[in-house]
Amino acid sequence: MSFYDLLDRNPGLKNTLRWMLTPRGQARPRLWVKLFLNPFFIKRGKGSRIRRRTRIDILPGKYLKLGQYSTIEDFTTINNGVGTVRIGHHTRVGIGSVIIGPVSIGNNVRLAQHVVLSGLNHNYEDVQVPISEQGVQTSDIYIGDGTWIGANAIVLPGIFIGKHCVVAAGSVVTKDIPSYTVVAGNPARVMKTYDRESKQWIRNRTT
């Protein structure tokens, strides 16, 4: 039996451990977690940078994996409470962005300012119970190599974005995006796709 199976079978122990890691009603881990546990659950590649004014909420059991020569800029929040966050090589997470795992970001990706990637959704079905007490569901977000996501864009749980895509500023991505595609809007719609035969970006006639 794994440690996590043991916790699932002992709600009291699970609640005690949760209280030790985070104050009741809060998402940010206690200071001792940051000082003594985070070094074991943050995996950083050569030349990677996490700017000083970031909020890195890392809890045991999940990881933050940051690739070589990648940067997490100031005022960004990374939260792995319900899923590991993986960031590839030569990738930059822009100022003020929010990443809530489970999220996987490829190599040479650019996230502009205030981008939100959240692999988490709150349960809400039982109207007799506050939403905050109904738990959460998670679904992985994947961002392919070479993609650029514009400022203030939002990517919802479970979304796959392929290689070399462009997500325009302010877009809300609610559906998967194939590789070599430009999308924009709320909800995001396809604006252009790359045609390999003509080697040109072709505008979508229906937009």
Q: Cα 132 from chain centroid?
A: 20
Predicted pLDDT of residue 82: 83
This prediction's pTM: 0.86
DSSP state of 34: I
Per DSSP, the three-state class of 35 is helix
Predicted pLDDT of residue 40: 80
User: Which positions are catalytic?
Assistant: 122
Cβ-contact 44, 38 below 8 angstroms: no
Predicted pLDDT of residue 8: 60
Strand partners, 192: 182, 203
> How far apart (Å, rounded) are the C-alpha atoms in residues 114 and 163?
21
Residue 197 has, within 13 A of its CA and on its CB side, a CA count of: 1
Predicted pLDDT of residue 4: 54
> How far apart (Å, rounded) are the C-alpha atoms in residues 78 and 56?
5
Per-block average pLDDT, block size 10, for the chain (207 residues)?
59 72 76 78 93 86 92 94 92 97 96 96 92 89 98 98 98 97 97 93 82
Strand partners, 8: none
